[in-house]
Amino acid sequence: MSGSDDKTIQVWNAETGDLVARPMKGHTNRVNSVAYSPNGRHIVSGSSDNTIRVWDTETGDLVAGPVKGHNFGVCSVAYSPDGRHIVSGSGDATIQIWNAETGQLVKGPMKGHTHCVESVKYSPDGRHIVSGSDDMTIQVWNAETGDLVAGPIKGHTGHVSSVAYSPDSRHVVSSSWDHTIQVWSAETGKLVAGPMEGHTDSIDCVIYSPDGRHIVSGSSDKTI
């Protein structure tokens, strides 16, 4: 699955690389973020047109949206583990939580960051949301109340481009334009590991392996 500057979403066969669904068209600007629902039936997309849309994975039809509420481009979207909610981070520096079926606002806007929220993710247990921002900080939120529970976590010296939870929800990994990766306690915000150095340019994405033993990163230096 991919989002693109051509304003479309496309789904590909992971084994053969073949296109398996017609391009999903509807956004009027760049598609910045896409994510599958936990049951695999839907795809959520966030775009620089300030909207969120939900699509049927099999048919490519729009099933919810355009969901409007952000005042600037939507940089990141993610499903809750139970598939009931969608969290979004935006260039308007806020985070919002939506009903995945109806598109209605459930919580937010959650305010705390001072610049674009580049990345948002639910914890695997669904209790918390982590966010990373161009303000160089990471914040952890209560997914039910919207209250800040940890942070702002400071340590990076560049934009925080990506954040992700460990499978056990205990740790958060972050990547940054400062060329480093850092691992934090999700409960206290204290640094657990890092800065991990090796890339020679901004690191754009980072994620844990399913068993939590490894972290993979992708960078503008063209390496993984």
pLDDT tens over the chain, length 224 residues: 444 568 898 888 888 888 887 788 889 999 999 999 999 999 999 999 999 999 988 888 899 879 998 999 999 999 999 999 999 999 999 999 999 989 899 987 999 999 999 999 999 999 999 999 999 999 999 999 999 998 799 999 999 999 999 999 999 999 999 999 999 999 898 999 979 898 999 999 999 999 999 999 999 999 99
CA distance 29 to 224: 28
pLDDT of residue 14: 86
Token code pair at residue 130: 């982590």
Report pTM. 0.87
Query: What are the backbone angles phi and psi of residue 220, rounded to the nearest 5°?
Result: -70, -5
* HEC per residue, 77-107: EEECCCCCEEEEEECCCEEEEEECCCCCEEE
Token code pair at residue 101: 């079926």
- With CA atoms as reference, report the closest residue to 93 among 76, 106, 68, 111: 111
Domain ranges for the chain = 2-219
Token code pair at residue 216: 């993979």
Q: Per-residue pLDDT tens for 48-97?
A: 999 999 998 888 889 987 999 899 999 999 999 999 999 999 999 999 99
157 C-beta neighbours (distance < 10 Å), count: 12
CB of 130 within 8 A of CB of 137? no
Taking the alpha carbons at both ends of the chain, their separation in whole angstroms is 19
Q: Which residue in this structure is represented by tokens 């355009």?
A: 66
pLDDT of residue 150: 87
pLDDT of residue 1: 44
pLDDT of residue 184: 93
Cis preceding-peptide flag for 210 (omega within 30 of 0): no
Token code pair at residue 164: 């992700």
pLDDT of residue 77: 95
pLDDT of residue 26: 87
CB of 90 within 8 A of CB of 70? yes
The topology under which CATH files domain 2-219 is Methylamine Dehydrogenase; Chain H (2.130.10)
CA distance 205 to 167: 17
